[in-house]
């Protein structure tokens, strides 16, 4: 049995600002639908049971931090807690949220809200990789050197800072090494594949036919 609770954190922008890199291909309504439906998928993976592994979700709580009224509504509908963003920038948002979680003696886990293939099994495996919450656990993104998962335990808030952005995975590893923090690396397709560009969307459509239509509430079809 785990003796430390684990809280998942998903930072969000207002959906009107979602996926601006897709603005040449999707209009604002389509991008809002895309951002909202991606968030729903991520929350269901974080909260849901992993068949064959657990009857309940492995996380004790899930926080959605930031966004707008639409994001708050989605969080409520998917049984997550919504919190306003009191900070400036995603790294400050995560550091501030983690600090608050550590203050209650809980471990904190970050995942982004744009992982279309994330499943409860990925979340279960990611937490298990921490070795009963003894290691910092990192999940690399498929491309760009990014970090799509971070799990930190209480006591590390002053020695390990979130550094999302270009080449963040290597910077997180270097930071941990320089401070003597043990690190576990967990890779899964669900955590590795985020959705940033139209090329991503096209590639993922072939992996899951109908994905674009489902994520845009039927407002967009590939090639349409």
Q: What is the CATH number of the domain that holds 21?
A: 3.90.550.10
- The answer to whether residue 35 sits within a structural domain is yes
Q: Parallel, antiparallel, or unpaired for β 147-152 and 136-140?
A: antiparallel
- The answer to whether residue 221 sits within a structural domain is no
| DSSP per position, 100-120 | HHHHTT-EEEE--S--TT--H
Quote the CA–CA distance of 50 and 113 in Å, as a whole number: 19
- The answer to whether residue 26 sits within a structural domain is yes
**Helix or strand or coil: residue 213?**
helix
Among candidate residues 141, 108, 76, the one with its CA nearest the CA of residue 7:
108
- The answer to whether residue 23 sits within a structural domain is yes
Number of domains the chain is built from: 1
Q: What is the pTM for the complete model shown? A: 0.94
* Structure tokens, 165: 């952005």
- The answer to whether residue 179 sits within a structural domain is yes
Residues 15-49 have pLDDT tens digits of: 999 899 999 999 999 999 999 999 999 999 999 98
**Helix or strand or coil: residue 17?**
helix
- The answer to whether residue 210 sits within a structural domain is yes
- 44: domain range? 6-215
- The answer to whether residue 220 sits within a structural domain is no
Alpha helices (H) in the chain, listed in sequence order = 28-47, 69-77, 90-103, 120-128, 168-178, 189-192, 198-207, 211-215
- pLDDT, average across residues 71-85: 97
- The answer to whether residue 31 sits within a structural domain is yes
Please say if the pLDDT value at position 2 is more than 70.
Answer: no
């Amino acid at each position: 049995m785990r003796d430390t609770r684990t809280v998942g954190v998903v930072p969000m922008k207002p959906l009107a600002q979602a996926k601006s890199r897709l603005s040449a291909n999707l209009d604002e309504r389509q991008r809002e639908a895309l951002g909202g439906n991606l968030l729903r998928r991520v929350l269901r993976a974080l909260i849901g049971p992993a068949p064959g592994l657990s009857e309940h979700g492995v996380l004790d709580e899930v926080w959605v931090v930031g966004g707008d009224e639409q994001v708050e509504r989605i969080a409520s509908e998917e049984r997550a807690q919504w919190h306003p963003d009191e900070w400036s920038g995603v790294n400050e948002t995560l550091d501030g949220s983690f600090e608050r979680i550590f203050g209650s003696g809980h471990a904190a886990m970050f995942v982004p809200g744009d992982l279309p293939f994330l499943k409860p099994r990925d979340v279960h495996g990611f937490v298990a990789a921490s070795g009963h919450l003894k290691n910092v656990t990192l999940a690399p993104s498929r491309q760009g050197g990014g970090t799509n998962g971070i799990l930190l335990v209480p006591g590390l808030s002053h020695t390990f800072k979130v550094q999302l952005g270009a080449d963040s995975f290597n910077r997180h590893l270097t930071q941990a090494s320089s401070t003597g923090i043990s690190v576990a690396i967990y890779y899964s397709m669900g955590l590795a594949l985020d959705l940033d560009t139209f090329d991503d969307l096209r590639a993922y459509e072939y992996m899951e036919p109908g994905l674009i239509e489902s994520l845009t509430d039927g407002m967009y079809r590939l090639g349409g």
